[in-house]
Homo-oligomer: A and B are copies of this chain.
Amino acid sequence: MNQDYIQPNNWSIIEEGFNTENVKSSESLFSIGNGAMGQRANFEEQYSGPTFQGSYIAGVYYPDKTRVGWWKNGYPEYFAKVLNAPSWIGINVFVNGEALDLFTCKKVENFRRELNMKEGWLSRSFLATLQNNIEIEVKAKRFLSLDIDEVGAIQYQITPKNSNAEITFQPYLDSGITNEDSNWDDKFWDTKNVSHEKNQAFIEAKTMKTNFHTCTFMESSVFINGEAVSNQPTTNSQVNYVSFSYKQAVSKGETYAIHKFGGYTVDRNHDKAKLVSAAKAILEKTSKLGFNGLLEMQKHAWANIWNMSDITINGDVKAQQGIRFNIFQLNQTYLGKDSTLNIGPKGFTGEKYGGSTYWDTEAYCIPFYMATKDQNVARSLLEYRYNHLQKAIENAEKLGFKNGAALYPMVTMNGEECHNEWEITFEEIHRNGAIAFAIFNYYRYTGDYSYIPEKGLEVLIGIARFWHQRATFSTDKNKYVILGVTGPNEYENNVNNNFYTNYIAKWCINYTLENIDRIESDYASDYTRIMNKAKLSKTELQQWKKVADNMYFPYSEKHNVYLQQDGFLDKELITVADLDKSQRPINQKWSWDRILRSPYIKQADTLQGFYFFEDQFTTEELERHFDFYEPFTVHESSLSPCVHSIQAAKLDRMEQAYTFYLRTSRLDLDDYNHEVEEGLHITSMAGTWMSIVEGFGGMRVKNNSLSFEPKIPKQWEGYSFKVNFRNQILKVNVCQKDTKFELEGDADLDIFVKDKKVRISPNNLVTI
């Protein structure tokens, strides 16, 4: 654990006391979002200390020209990048002409920041003494509305404490913003028009190249002791900027407040010529509701989300806070309303990892969304890849594949590859497998087969074709091999016969063949349509099968385990426990070659295969592989602890499972990787959810039924979670002594608890 300034609390993230060194970390941790936009917890007023400014609009990106040291054929020329969007949260504050700036004022006391996850708002309060010796109390609150997801609201209150003061609020919009991670300092935004009318202002700007049209807007009004002040503000309008000034003489002890509504209208949702009028319509609604009215709606909306997705943990505040923080951030990032959107590894909390979508979505996020939302949300995530199939085929063509083989990009915003490290971009091809697995997983969980003949099979065919072509026949081994890959463990590059990759390749081909058979017999017209479109012949299917049937898997007779890749046993097999602590984390201490020739594993690799395909291995096999690989695992990926937590729980190693759980759930809150200031690890948060539901709860879907193997860490009194299983809500409550099941819905549900069938009837508590 590297930091410890977040106060333990069941429902809130709280920071007390002002420390300039925490500002960038807190800007990440206190980020807010509503699925359509998000922003780091930057201060409204001016701040001249170290800060990382960020506001982001879902789906608004820019293709930044690729920057590399050494170009390789096949690299994408552009890299779609999450854009820092025009800022609407700014409110400059002047007290007797002096700008309020926490970095330069004489004293900051009683600083408190709270992210209230239950109700979905961020607040901040402090007492500041300015250079002019005026002491003011500030209380600010802001949120991004879930109900009207193009708008947010800020309430900012100042009370002079030791004298009268002339206070000016200067709310503004600013489109003169940049990305910190710009490759070539390109200008990303082109401001088309700045306008204002009474207390409303608008900046219309479009992104360069991608031509996303946006209108950033604001409306503000001021109050003395809660009473509206009707003075018209003065206005300052520039090329990329517009502000209002509200100057007011405020007596000592009086409270001067501003309410500011702001947000974005974008041409994904509106006619690009009518973005200003769309903004006005939104402001008309929010004006009527007022800050408090909109806040009440926010509380209800979050109550609804929590009602479905909350996980409670009794007797362990830090664990409780961790899981709620994870669930809260996932819901801030993606709500499944728009199938052109996806879940970026940093959500709306930072710029890093440029493109939005990784294999994280399919491997880690889909189970969370399937179980806590309507199943259409997961289907929407699958369709995202279906919609990118043609681009995945083009991507594979760039790398020399043909005939409709599809290689999904490692990182993408619009279906095009956004990454440029050859060992990842070209070689971390197992990502294709996760995309196929998600289709299988969706059907397994929801029972909705319709997706496969409608869309999924075409994706599966593209992927199967890729694996068929990517495998090569080794006359030496008399088997098909897959050479030159990077597995999930990115601390190995360009290896041969990565077990996980070979396994999922074989599985993808077999699963595709299985579905072709089923669709041929049950969905004749879909079958004809798809086979014609894909120009797929029986001969080709036979060739696929030959590859799948003769796939090579490296195995050690001595250790009785599959080898992560060819040659793994040539390494110096010193466990992490025996590695000098001063050498950790190795990704910060060692050069890349040293990492590569070490046995150290960044995240589950062979074990990721055992996680996905659990049914295909015995528990003894799992145990053997866990015992072989986990001791070499450094868990330096945010996606590592969750899989290990689930497997440790399955192996009844509850202490270890608990440790992994804490690590995944509090990764950002405790800043394990010393990098939270760059943004949060959103996708791994879904892994945290899996650690509880699949790990401790032991939930699986087998033969169309839910099954459970409930376990509980000794540190906890109890925990509960809910899952939406095929439109019925099952609540599971695990205590040290027993497990309770409760069902919302219309029909009885047969579940399995420790392999025994149990019938749960609606609204009838069952204790086991």
CA distance A426 to B593 in the complex (A): 6
Residue interface mask A54-95, B partner, CB < 8 A = 1: 000000000000111110111000000000000000000000
A630 within 8 A of B: no
**Shortest distance between the CB of A186 and any CB in chain B (Å):** 14
Give the residue among A422, A473, A481, A572 with the most B Cβ atoms within 10 A.
A422
| Other-chain residue from B69, B427, B571, B590 in contact with A66 (beta carbon distance below 8 A) | B69
- Assess whether A589 is interfacial by the CB under 8 Å rule: yes
Point out the residues of chain B lying under 8 angstroms from A68, CB to CB: 67-69
A587 at the interface (CB under 8 A from B): yes
| Residue from B422, B475, B592, B594 within 8 A of A593 (CB atoms) | B422
Q: In the complex the two chains form, is A589's CB within 8 Å of B73's CB?
A: yes
A378 CA to B192 CA, complexed, in Å:
66
A593–B427 touching, CB < 8 Å: yes
Tell me whether A674 is interfacial, beta carbon within 8 Å. Answer: no
A227 on interface, CB distance cutoff 8 Å = no
Encoded as 1 (CB less than 8 Å from any B CB) or 0, chain A from 459 to 481 comes to 00000000000001111110001
Q: Is A588 touching B73 in the complex (CB atoms < 8 A)?
A: yes
Q: Please, which residues of chain B bring their CB within 8 A of the CB of A592? A: 72-74, 422, 426
The closest CB in chain B to the CB of A476 belongs to B569
Residues of B within 8 A of A315 (CB): none
Q: Name the one of B72, B474, B571 contacting A472, with C-beta atoms under 8 angstroms.
A: B571
Does A73 contact B399, Cβ atoms closer than 8 Å? no
Q: Is the CB of B73 within 8 A of A496?
A: no
Docked Cα-Cα span, A548 to B51, in Å, equals 55
Which one of B558, B570, B588, B593 contacts A399 once the chains associate, using CB atoms below 8 Å? B593
Q: A548 to B368, alpha carbons, bound, how many Å? A: 55
Which residues of chain B are near A483, meaning CB under 8 Å? 567, 570-571, 596-597
CA gap between A559 and B679 in the complex, in Å: 55
A703 contacts the other chain (CB 8 A): no
Q: Measured between alpha carbons, how far is A494 from B427 in the docked complex, in Å?
A: 13
The total of chain A residues at the interface (CB under 8 A) is 47
Inter-subunit contact B591/A73 (CB<8 Å): yes
A225 on the B face (CB < 8 A): no
A590 touches B477 (CB 8 A): no
**Contacts A399-B593, A399-B594 known; A570 to B481 CB distance under 8 Å?**
yes
Known A474-B569, A567-B567; judge A484-B591 contact (CB<8 A).
no
Q: Which of A458-517 contact B (CB under 8 A)?
A: 472-477, 481, 483-484, 493-494, 496-497
In the complex, whether A312 has a CB less than 8 A from a CB of chain B is: no
Are A591 and B72 in contact (CB-based, < 8 A)?
yes
Task: Specify the chain B residue showing the minimal Cβ separation from A66.
Answer: B69
Residues of chain A in range 548-576 having any CB-CB distance to chain B below 8 Å = 558, 566-567, 569-573
Q: How far is the CB of A399 from chain B (nearest CB, A)?
A: 5
Given contacts A66-B69, A494-B493, A590-B400, whether A484 and B596 have CB atoms under 8 Å apart is: yes
Chain B residue numbers with a CB within 8 Å of A624 are none
Most buried by B among A400, A475, A494, A569: A494
Do B426 and A474 touch (CB < 8 A)? Answer: no
Q: Does A421 contact B (CB under 8 A)?
A: yes
Q: Which of A423-474 contact B (CB under 8 A)?
A: 426-427, 472-474
Distance of A68 Cα from B421 Cα, bound (Å): 10
Q: In the complex the two chains form, what is the Cα distance from A398 to B589 in whole Å?
A: 10
- Closest residue of chain B to A483, judged by CB? B597
A591 CB contacts on chain B under 8 angstroms: 72-74, 398-400, 422, 426
Q: Looking at the assembled complex, report how far the CB atom of A426 sits from the nearest CB atom of chain B, in whole angstroms.
A: 4
Q: What separation, in Å, do the CA atoms of A567 and B570 have in the docked complex?
A: 13
- In the complex, A420 has a CB within 8 A of chain B: yes
Docked Cα-Cα span, A421 to B494, in Å, equals 14
Q: Are A570 and B476 in contact (CB under 8 A)?
A: yes
Distance A70 CA – B571 CA, assembled complex (angstroms): 26
Q: Which residues of B contact A494 (CB under 8 A)?
A: 493-494, 593, 596
Q: Which listed residue, B420, B472, B590, touches A73 by the CB 8 Å rule?
A: B590
A397 CA to B66 CA in the complex, in Å? 32
Of chain B, the residue at the smallest CB distance from A569 is B476
Q: How far is the CA of A590 from the CA of B421 in the complex (A)?
A: 16
Known: A569-B476, A571-B483. A594 touches B400 (CB 8 A): yes
For the complex, give the distance between the alpha carbons of A236 and B473 in Å: 72
Partner of A573, one of B475, B573, B589, B594: B475
Tell whether, in the assembled complex, residue B484 and residue A593 are in contact, meaning their CB atoms are under 8 Å apart: yes
| Least distance between A173 CB and chain B CB atoms (Å) | 32
Q: Which residue on B lies nearest to A567, using beta carbons?
A: B496
Are A420 and B69 within 8 A (Cβ)? yes
CB neighbours (8 Å) of A569 from chain B are 474-476
Which B residue sits closest to A494, measured CB to CB? B494
Taken together as a complex, chains A and B put the C-alpha atoms of A567 and B494 apart, in Å, by 12
Return chain B residues, CB-CB under 8 Å to A570: 472, 474, 476-477, 481, 483, 496-497, 566
A399, closest chain B residue (CB): B591
Digit string of A8-37 for contact with B (CB within 8 Å is 1, else 0)? 000000000000000000000000000000
| Residues of B contacting A594 in the complex (Cβ-Cβ under 8 angstroms) | 399-400
Known: A69-B420, A566-B570. 15 other contacts (CB 8 A): A67-B67, A72-B592, A73-B587, A398-B591, A399-B593, A400-B594, A422-B593, A476-B558, A481-B570, A483-B570, A483-B571, A484-B593, A496-B567, A497-B570, A566-B566
Which 9 pairs between the two chains have the least Cβ-Cβ distance?
Answer: A74-B591, A426-B593, A476-B569, A483-B597, A484-B597, A68-B69, A72-B592, A474-B570, A422-B592
Q: Enumerate 6 A-B pairs (CB-CB under 8 Å) in ascending A order.
A: A67-B67, A68-B68, A73-B587, A472-B597, A474-B570, A484-B596
